[in-house]
Structures are given as C-alpha cells and as structure tokens.
Structure 1
C-alpha cells in the first residue's frame, strides 16, 4: 500500500468525527518497515514510563498499553489524543510536533496502529459519546471511598493513573470512563467495580469525574445550552480580529485566545459531533457539526465579512471540511484552529461545559 493511500485511510480512521459514524471504517495494516519504525519510536519515547513490553507502571504510574479493555475502547482516536496532546497535570506530555513534541501527526497515527496490532488487533468497542446521567455530588462520595486511594484525592494519581487532568476529561466521552469503572483494565490493578458498585453509583462517579473537566479544584461551571445560530456572532459591536494565517488558512491557539480575550467580533464554530460540544468546548463556540444541514448554516451565518473560525478535534479534518464549504459558498473571512481543541487544552487554554437540549 502506498504511503499516500495509507495516510488517507489513517486520517479517515483516526478522525473523531468519523469515529461516531454509523459504519466502522476498515483498519489499515502497517507494512513491516512502518511497524519497525513505530516500535523504534515506542522504545525511544514511551518505554521509559510504559515499559519496554507496554505493561505500564515502569515510571510515574503510566498505564498499561497491553490492556485489552483499554485498547478496545480507546482505539483509535482516544489513543491518538493521549499521545499527541498528552495529559496536562501529569508526567504525560504531548508528543505532537505542533505543540513542541518530537512526532509528526503521521508518526502518531502510525504509533496508534502499532499499539493496536501489538495488542492482537482486538475489535474496537464503540462506546459512543452520549452523556451518562448521574449525580455528581453523590459521585464525589463514591470516588472518595473507592477511587481516591489509588487515583488521589484530587485525581493526581497515587498508585494508579491520574484522572485530574483537563485534556483527558475534556476529550473523553462519559461512556469511556463508565466502561473502565465497570469492566476494569485487565492486566492492571484496576479491577472491575461491577460487583462492588451499583449501576447508579457507577453513573454517579462518572458524572463526578465529568464535573472536574474544567479543573479539579475549580468551582463547577454551570451547564449551558447551545447558543442558537442566530446568536452566533460574538461581540457584534466590536472591531474585527487581527491575526496572521499559519500554513494558508489556519489560526494558532495563541492568536485565538488573544482575540477572544480582546472581545473581537467573530463567529466560532465547533464542527465536531454535537455531543462532544457538551463534554467541553471553547467558550462562545456554536456547535455546527460537519454533517449539519448546509442551507441552515448558510442562512444563519453573517455575510458582512465577520470572521468565521472553525475548530474540531482531528485536529483539522472536520473543521477543514466546513471551512472549505464556507469558502465555496462565498464566505471569504474564514479560518481553522491549527491545533484543534485537543491542542487548545494541552496548551493550557480554558474550556466550558455544555448541556444537550435534545
């Protein structure tokens, strides 16, 4: 398989927007030389903490990358997010070159496929992105009683993986957390709580973890409903933003953070699956999934030159598709967030949490 074809397949497979699509995508196989390169990258960058055999806990409580439970639920895009953007607040840094790491996006994707193949290529479990309805206040007590001794009172990690980091909580669906609580992580000290906690208690602790997505010690932010398309323009009376493009039509996270703080006039579009907006989003963003009705989007967005900035989690695939569509429809002042929301969080910029209206 040629490199160009493989990379197209990888981009499709590892897009979180498509990870929730109705039909699963075929999983490409690494050529021998690609597998060897991925293994060399693993031994160079990952073995120190995750162990040369991927068993985990060699240093800094790094989780096992051999766990069938983890590989089934995290493959492909949650593994990619973790490698690319790291886990702020933990020793796991981001390895993507766009945030200062040593690996290209293609190398990260190759590593994800290699980990999957080394784990026996298990059939992925599609946990979905629906919100788990639980009582966060009750979940705090469950966490303190059953989880804090290993994961830390503030999610810092004691003898187990640190849970109190915004990148993981901002980009991880509720059901990924819920599955780990119920089924454990085979081959690790993380046992199944199916016989210890009731389904309601597992829902509650999942809700509690979700409530920490904007910071373990911060006051929980109120859930907000998605803004209407008619209200998409931020700071409508303000001046237009000023920034320089990166690589053609992209804006950096630093520039976006600056112009949001300057309260400039713009429209910010979250182009991911709508359920991801409610988990965490950049404050002020309107959810316009890549699959939205084109006519509704065109009729609602301003045509007066207001800047329209899109982002996704791919880090750019879904946002690029929306941006391309807008350009074709005559919208000239459009840009895409270069780092995506994963890079945004990994670089320390804030998020907000939302509430689904339907």
Structure 2
C-alpha cells in the first residue's frame, strides 16, 4: 500500500473516531430532573436510607463502609442513569453479591413507592444534573477488551468480574439494567470519592470501548424470575435441635465462631439459634438450615420475641460480618450474652463447601 493510501486511511480513521466521539458527546444532553418529592416523602426516604442502606453505603452515602458497597453520591454515577441503575439493584438485589432485594415483592421491607422515592431522594441529595445516554451498543474488540480488563480491572473487580474490593461487574442483573454507555462512562470518568479512578487519561478511547464490549458479552442468558416466597418460621421453630447439648464454642476474640466449628456442632445436633441478619429476600433464596430471618435493620422489640437468652445464638451475614456484628452488638446490649458471629459469613461458609437450604424461589413463566 502506498504512503498516500496509508495517509488517507489514517485520516479516515481519525475522522471516524472524531465523529464517533462527537456523536457520543452530543448524545449526552442534559435530561430534565425527575419528579420532586414532597417533604414527607423525603423524610421517609431519608429514614429508610439510614435504616436499610447506611450500614454498607455509609451514613453520608460515601460508599465502601462495608462490603465495598459503592458510593451513592459519586458525580459520575448520580448523573448517569438515575433511576433504573439505582432502583433495580435496590429492588431486586444483585445475585451472588451481598446486595439483597429490598422490595416487598421479593421479601424485602419496602413498598414499590418507597423504593422509587428513595431513588429520587438519592438523586436530590447528590445535586447533579442528569445526563442523557442512548441505548446504542458500544462496539469494540471483545478479546482485546478481556486482555485489558485482566490487566487493569481484575485486581479490584476480580478475574471473573465477581468483585473483590470493587463491585461485581459481570452480574447478570447489573448487565441487564445498565446500558453500554452507562458502563463506558463509568470507566471513562471513574467514581469520584472512591478508589475507582477515571481511565480517560490512561486508556485509549478504543480500549474503553473494548472493555465495555467485553463486559456486555457476559450478559447473555439472563432469565428473569418471579419469586415464590416460603412462609417465615414461627417462634416454635426458632431453636435448632431443641433437645441437643450446648455447643460450647471456643470463640475467636470472644465474638466469632468458625464455619468448621459451626458445621460440626450442627452435625452433632447441638442446640442453638441461628440468625440470618441479611435482608429477608436473600434468606428466601438460600440460608443455613434452621436459620431464621433476623434483618439487621429490624426493630429489636419485635424480633427478639421468641428468642431465648439461655440458648447459644449464632448470627451470620454476607458482608462477611458487618450486619451480623451490628446485630449481635445490639443483642448484647439487651443482655443476650450467649451470642456469636459466623467468622466467614455465609459466602465463606458456602465456598468452604458447607450446606445451605435453598429457598422456594423459582422461575415462574408469565
């Protein structure tokens, strides 16, 4: 090929890139703000945030308080896609992560209106204008995107996108509800106030496209499910192995029981109470056999009814310990001294190969 042809080809590629970037920029017009909450709606939303969200996302929405939960005030997040990118994980959770579903339809504590209002409240608190993103695909070299992802992203997000110190990225629900441009913008701009840096000055625009295309390639095969909720246990069912002996755990730091010791005690039919301190929706999906739903945000005056003080209590969550620590500390302040927290959490428990009871949630065709 001649030097002239090479020059023409290079000019054409530059022109295409500039036009593409211009189109991307033009597409991101400012959107009109969402509906304004009433004073009462804002009050309830603020209360719900502190009750349900602050434990992991922080009292001031700063994120990474526990379980590497993302910031809910980062400029690049709050200007790019509210409401669905916040609403859907709040309502239905992220399967395979510590984020459970908070919508009452899946066993959570909030109504549909409350989840919408909390979403709008988060946007109002952040104080940013919304950007307009298209639903057009971002095209790129998937194989190249995988290579760059493993080099740049995997140390925080995991080789399989499962999340380590950064959020899970290859979660099917996340990929179903986040558009390509939403993903691309997050890579490009980062998440202000968090460890997620902006890559617009360190990666080429093409490689940002490539990573986006690679992540999108992992979204095939999503099957939406409707929950079929099982009945919650009654107080008469709270004690596991009612006629068994006390487990007499040797607690780590006076607080924690190891998965091996708990599993051995359950196999030996030891007497105890197991508290699943996660949002009830994830108890519905899977829990340790015999555990009762005891959400970290629950009113203790209501939930302790039927919980004896003279029986060993073991609480667990998926953080692996934040919600369970919070719950046990509250119980100890109430005089429940025979208490412990599962050290590895339920994810660690399952990864070690110990059994869980699957809930009655199943796919139901419309």
Normalising by the smaller structure, the TM-score range is: 0.5 to 0.7
Other-structure match for 1:253: 226
**Counterpart contact for 1:49–1:57, Cα < 8 Å:** yes
Compared CA separation, residues 92 and 189, structure 1 to 2 (3 A): same
Other-structure match for 1:29: 36
Q: Structure 1 stretches (4+) deviating beyond 3 angstroms?
A: 22-26, 252-255, 347-350
- Give the C-alpha shift of residue 194 in structure 1: 0.8
**Counterpart contact for 1:178–1:202, Cα < 8 Å:** yes
Given the alignment, which residue of 108, 114, 117 partners 1:110?
117
Q: Indicate yes or no: 2:157 matched with 1:165.
A: no
1:290-336 deviation per Cα after TM superposition (whole angstroms, max 9, x unaligned):
xxxxxxxxxxxxxxxxxxxxxxxxxxxxxxxxxxxxxxxxxxxxxxx
Larger radius of gyration: 2
Other-structure match for 2:149: 143
**Counterpart contact for 2:82–2:119, Cα < 8 Å:** yes
Other-structure match for 2:94: 87
Q: Distance in 2 between matches of 1:132 and 1:193?
A: 17
Compared CA separation, residues 30 and 183, structure 1 to 2 (3 A): same
Given the alignment, which residue of 37, 52, 72 partners 2:79?
72
Runs of 5+ consecutive residues of structure 1 not aligned to the other structure? 1-19, 219-251, 256-346, 351-358
**Counterpart contact for 1:83–1:94, Cα < 8 Å:** yes
Partner of 1:46: helix, strand, or coil?
A: helix
Given the alignment, which residue of 56, 66, 83 partners 1:49?
56
Q: Indicate yes or no: 2:200 matched with 1:194.
A: yes
**Counterpart contact for 1:89–1:164, Cα < 8 Å:** no
**Counterpart contact for 2:162–2:168, Cα < 8 Å:** yes
Partner of 2:151: helix, strand, or coil?
A: helix
- Give the C-alpha shift of residue 95 in structure 1: 1.0
Instruction: Answer with 25-34 or 135-144: which moved more.
Output: 25-34
1:191-225 deviation per Cα after TM superposition (whole angstroms, max 9, x unaligned):
1111111111111100110111147xx9xxxxxxx
Size of the alignment, in residue pairs?
Answer: 203
**Equivalent runs, 1:347-358 vs 2, <5 Å:** none
- Give the C-alpha shift of residue 25 in structure 1: 5.2
**Counterpart contact for 1:85–1:96, Cα < 8 Å:** yes
Partner of 1:37: helix, strand, or coil?
A: helix
Compared CA separation, residues 254 and 188, structure 1 to 2 (3 A): closer
TM-score scaled by structure 1? 0.53
TM-score scaled by structure 2? 0.52
- Give the C-alpha shift of residue 117 in structure 1: 1.0
Partner of 1:60: helix, strand, or coil?
A: coil
Compared CA separation, residues 184 and 97, structure 1 to 2 (3 A): same
Runs of 5+ consecutive residues of structure 2 not aligned to the other structure? 1-26, 229-360
**Counterpart contact for 1:50–1:57, Cα < 8 Å:** yes
Other-structure match for 1:133: 139
**Counterpart contact for 2:61–2:72, Cα < 8 Å:** yes
Q: Indicate yes or no: 2:191 matched with 1:185.
A: yes
